[in-house]
Amino acid sequence: MPLTGQKLLQNHPQAWKEATVHPFLEQCQLGTIQRSQFNTWLVQDYLFVVEFTRMAARLLTIAPPSHFDILLDGLAALKDELNWFKVKATERQLNLATPPQPTCREYCQFMEQLATQPYGVQAIAFWAIELAYNQGWQLPGPMPEPYSEFADRWGNSNFTEYVQLLQQQADEALSMVKDEIQQQAETVFLRVAKLEQAFWQMAFSAV
């Protein structure tokens, strides 16, 4: 039976919970997150999104044409997102020309290494990364200012729909591959979950 995104979530609930439920997000919702913690996340996430945009571009080069529309919509949104990060950094007087921390660097290297994987594996990773942000910013519930703007960016209904479409495309890609490729996709899904948890923790541990 083909592997699907839903099966991955069902088979690995604890790993996915750790990827999407974290004190960093909970304290954003409570309004108690420290400025240094949030600023660390913002700068490092900008650096991450730069590399995620490269991943999105590479994914497009091997995707079937029937998947172009959704992926192109994602790339257009990433352009807006990168510019938005620059505005937020200016508002907070943050320097985005900052070296990535080890956790961010590891995540970016992982995304780069995915370029050697089959399309189905890359599609699962791309979906999982977007889903982690979608659920991570939704699950705590409504957030106070100034964090509501961040939660709304990834937790809004349009982004949720986009993530669901990414899952459909990833499921379709995996439905046509051998068990070996499906196993690779499961391994990559778990790596995404682990890296997401580590990224939240990186920001939460900032002083």
Domain annotation covers residue 5 = no
Residue 2: predicted pLDDT? 82
**169-202 burial string, b = 16+ CB within 10 Å, else e?**
bbbbbbeebeeebbebbbebbbbbbbbbbbbbeb
Please state, in angstroms and rounded to a whole number, the distance separating the CA atoms of residues 161 and 134. Answer: 10
Domain annotation covers residue 17 = no
Write the CATH number for 130.
1.20.910.10
Domain annotation covers residue 10 = no
- List, run by run, the mean pLDDT of 10-residue segments along the chain (207 residues): 92 98 97 97 98 98 98 97 98 97 98 97 98 96 94 96 98 94 97 98 93
Query: What stretch of H or E contains 6?
Result: helix 5-11
Domain annotation covers residue 65 = yes
Domain annotation covers residue 31 = no
Domain annotation covers residue 2 = no
Domain count, the chain: 1
Domain annotation covers residue 152 = yes
Domain with 185, as residue range(s), is: 38-90+98-204
Domain annotation covers residue 55 = yes
Please state, in angstroms and rounded to a whole number, the distance separating the CA atoms of residues 154 and 159. Answer: 6
